């Protein structure tokens, strides 16, 4: 799993949860506020009904007083009660009634109107005499209708309250559920973080610590998130590459030590014959011995110089001390250097008639040519011709070194210039470390040139060093 996926999944989970909770709360709040609106209306209706009852009673009481006293203030009070009755009836009509309560309200309304009408009628019939009184049955019926209306409204209020309680319970359940899901989500995310991030990180750190403490076979377990797995893979590859490099470096040391032992053994043998306790050989014997000592010492010196050169090139930039030299001269010097030692080989030099000027660091170019000629000799163990050819090709100078040795398989040719690479076919033939061609290519490139190879297994190889000519112009 990728870090992005984990983060996206957690965010989506939290967002869905937040959305669910928010919409739950919005819905319940809207519902409750609607119910509260309904309850408020019921309360107002109850108030209207109560007012109707009060004023009905007051009207009835004042009518009774008028019948007894005929006092005008009771007439006024009764009329006032009647007006109030009409006003509260109007008020009650304005309240929105449910389908159930509408019937009951209409009945109560009818009763009140009937009561008022009967009262008016009675009053008119008894004009000039005792004031009118409506029968008790009429009043009781009106009261009963109002009481029924009141009971209906109160029942509705109770039902609405029950609904609000239900919604409250539901939103409580939603909150508890959301909290539970949030907790579960957080625990799941923590568990995933621990499994996919924390533990793999700790293992990678432990592997790095072990590696740093010197345990070179320490490797990081490749688990957890893709990104951490990639880090672990990169660390393991780096550790494996370092281990391989270390192995090669040890191999180089062993190989250099081995290569140095031959000239040193020859030196030791020769010097043994010159021990102080032995008589000195005659001059004609002594001279070749001293020459051999000189040759072997020069060989050791060359090997160590080459090694130091390679170490310097490996360590950083190549510093060139450029001067214009004749490529023919450089090639001749190298061939002459190897001619005395390469007794089994015919070293041939093919040069143009005119000098071939080359702007180069002559020491570096000689190093390259030394390596190519030494390889040509080394990898043609049966002897044969080693040909060094200098030519001007267009704006380039080409110095080719050909041999008729073991050759190089086509697949290996692509890797020849890699550090420490040795072709299996030729590495069986002679010792080496696989750094010479790598250094040669870097030197050629530092001069703005390149090295090319053509080879056929078992038939021989040609290495061509191509450098820009000092004149720059193509030669005829």
**Stretch 355-384: interaction string toward ligand ADP, x if CB under 6 A:** ----------------x---xx--x-----
* CB distance 452 to 417 below 8 Å: no
> On the CB side of 274, how many CA atoms lie within 13 Å of its CA?
14
Span interacting with ligand ADP, options 19-27, 278-286, 356-364, 402-410, rule CB under 6 A: 402-410
How far apart are CB 304 and ligand ADP at their closest, in Å? Answer: 15
Give the nearest distance from C-beta 464 to ligand ADP in angstroms.
12
Query: How far, in Å, CA of 255 to CA of 235, rounded?
Result: 30
Kindly tell me which residue out of 400, 403, 444, 464 binds ligand ADP, with binding defined by CB under 6 A. 403
Residue of the chain from 149, 337, 390, 435 that contacts ligand ADP (CB under 6 A): 435
Q: Does 406 bind ligand ADP (CB under 6 A)?
A: yes
Residue 67: partners with Cβ closer than 8 Å, 6 or more residues away = 130, 131, 132, 133
- Whether the Cβ atoms of residue 335 and residue 328 lie closer than 8 Å to each other: no
Closer by beta carbon to ligand ADP, 276 or else 424:
424
Instruction: Count CB neighbours of 432 within 10 A.
Output: 19
- By CB under 6 A, residue 462 contacts ligand ADP: no
What does the alpha-carbon distance between residue 386 and residue 462 come to, in Å, rounded to a whole number?
10
Residue 426: CB minimum distance to ligand ADP, A = 4
408 binds ligand ADP (CB under 6 A): yes
The CA distance from 410 to 417, in Å, is 14
Judged by beta carbon, residue 88 or residue 438, the one nearer ligand ADP is: 438
- Minimum distance from CB of 353 to ligand ADP (Å)? 28
Task: Tell me if 338 contacts ligand ADP by CB under 6 A.
Answer: no
**What minimum distance in Å lies between the beta carbon of 430 and ligand ADP?**
7
> Under the criterion CB under 6 A, does residue 422 sit at the interface with ligand ADP?
yes
Among the listed ranges 171-179, 245-253, 335-343, 404-412, the one in contact with ligand ADP (CB under 6 A) is 404-412
Report CA-CA distances (Å) from 124 to 115, 139, 259, 406: 14, 19, 148, 146
CA distances from residue 123 to 61, 76, 130, 281, 427 in whole angstroms, order as listed: 15, 14, 9, 174, 140
**Using CA atoms, how far apart are residues 102 and 96, in angstroms rounded to an integer?**
9
**Residue in the shown chain whose Cβ atom is closest to ligand ADP:** 432
CA distances from 146 to 102, 112, 135 (A): 13, 9, 17
Which residue in 405, 447, 466, 467 binds ligand ADP (CB under 6 A)? 405
Contact residues toward ligand ADP (CB under 6 A) are: 371, 375-376, 379, 403, 405-406, 408, 416, 422-423, 426-427, 432-438, 461
């Amino acid at each position: 799993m990728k870090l992005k996926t984990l983060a996206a999944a957690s965010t989506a989970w939290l967002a869905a949860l937040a959305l669910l909770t928010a919409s739950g709360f919005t819905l319940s709040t809207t519902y409750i506020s609607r119910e509260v609106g309904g309850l408020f209306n019921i309360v107002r209706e109850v108030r209207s009904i109560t007012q109707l009852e009060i004023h009905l009673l007051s009207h009835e009481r004042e009518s009774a007083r008028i019948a007894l006293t005929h006092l005008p203030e009771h007439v006024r009070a009764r009329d006032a009660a009647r007006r109030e009755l009409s006003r509260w009836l109007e008020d009650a009509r304005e309240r929105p009634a449910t389908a159930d309560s509408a019937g009951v309200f209409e009945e109560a309304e009818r009763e009140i109107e009937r009561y008022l009408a009967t009262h008016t009628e009675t009053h008119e019939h008894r004009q000039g005499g005792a004031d009118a009184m409506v029968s008790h049955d009429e009043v009781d019926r009106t009261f009963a209708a109002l009481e029924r209306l009141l009971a209906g409204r109160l029942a509705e209020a109770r039902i609405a309250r029950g609904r609000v309680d239900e919604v409250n319970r539901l939103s409580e359940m939603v909150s508890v559920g959301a909290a539970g899901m949030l907790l579960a989500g957080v625990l799941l995310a923590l568990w995933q973080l621990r499994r996919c991030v924390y533990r793999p990180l700790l293992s990678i750190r432990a592997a790095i610590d072990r590696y740093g403490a010197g345990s070179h076979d320490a490797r990081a377990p490749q688990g957890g998130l893709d990104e951490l797995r990639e880090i672990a893979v990169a660390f393991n590859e780096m550790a494996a590459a370092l281990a391989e490099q270390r192995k090669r470096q040890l191999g180089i040391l062993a190989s250099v030590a081995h290569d140095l032992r031959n000239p040193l053994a020859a030196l030791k043998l020769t010097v043994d014959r010159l021990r102080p306790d032995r008589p000195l050989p005659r001059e004609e014997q002594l001279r070749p011995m001293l020459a051999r000592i000189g040759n072997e010492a020069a060989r050791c010196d060359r090997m160590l110089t080459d090694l130091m050169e390679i170490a310097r090139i490996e360590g950083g930039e190549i510093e060139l001390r450029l001067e214009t030299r004749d490529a023919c001269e450089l090639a001749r010097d190298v061939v002459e250097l190897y001619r005395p030692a390469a007794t089994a080989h015919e070293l041939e030099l093919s040069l143009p008639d005119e000098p071939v000027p080359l702007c180069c660091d002559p020491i570096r170019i000689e190093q390259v040519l030394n390596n190519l000629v030494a390889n040509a000799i080394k990898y043609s163990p049966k002897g044969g011709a080693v040909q060094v050819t200098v030519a001007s090709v267009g704006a380039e100078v080409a110095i080719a070194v050909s041999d008729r040795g073991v050759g190089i398989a086509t697949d290996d040719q692509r890797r020849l210039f890699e550090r420490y690479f040795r072709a299996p076919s030729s590495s069986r033939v002679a010792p080496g470390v696989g750094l010479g061609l790598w250094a040669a290519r870097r030197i050629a490139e530092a001069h703005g040139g390149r090295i090319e190879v053509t080879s056929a297994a078992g038939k021989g190889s040609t290495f061509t060093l191509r450098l820009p000519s000092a004149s720059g112009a193509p030669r005829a």
